[in-house]
Amino acid sequence: MLALKAQKTKKKRGNAKKKMASFQQRARRGLKGMALSWIDEDPFDNNAKIFAPMVDHANPVQKLICSDMWTQCKEWILNTEFIWVVRMVVIFEGAKNQPDYYFDFTGALNGEKSKELNEQMEIAYKAAHDANESYKDGNKNKGVYLQTEFLAQIVGV
């Protein structure tokens, strides 16, 4: 009888939602400065996904934390809105200069908002290929397409 009364008087914590929101806010702030880099041979294929990037951070301790966060919650990181700076380098083998593009982007790397970023990047990608094709054969700046390298860094939350 006493155990039954003890169960009835036990209250739930009223700040559980605030506590979870605080955890997410701290997690977002902890990821600031995290950089993901990956290489893709066909970056605008409809089935392309960010699957095995290298995780980096300027602070060695934060790098360990970010690597652990990536292995545990990569879907959350890719689908959460951050302020990103994305660098795209289109690599042409044999070319002297490699086209290099930067994009400032607020949103998630996956999802609806990422379509804007993908459209801008695809335009730049095509411009790089068009510029490469505009050189005559044998020119030191003309090369054969090899791959595209990406670096996405969280610069704000």
* Percent of the chain topping pLDDT 70: 81
Read off φ and ψ for residue 35, nearest 5 degrees. Answer: -125, 135
Burial of 39 (0-12, 13-18, 19+ CB in 10 A): middle
In this structure, are residues 120 and 101 in contact, taking their beta carbons and an 8 Å threshold?
A: no
Whether 3 is in a domain gets the answer no
Parent domain of 128: 25-156
Domain count, the chain: 1
pTM value is: 0.77
We report the CATH number of the domain holding residue 79 as: 3.30.1490
Domain-embedded: residue 20: no
Summarised one tens digit per residue, pLDDT across range 29-46 is: 888 999 999 988 888 776
Tokens of 99: 């086209």
Closest CA to 139 of 87, 97, 81: 97
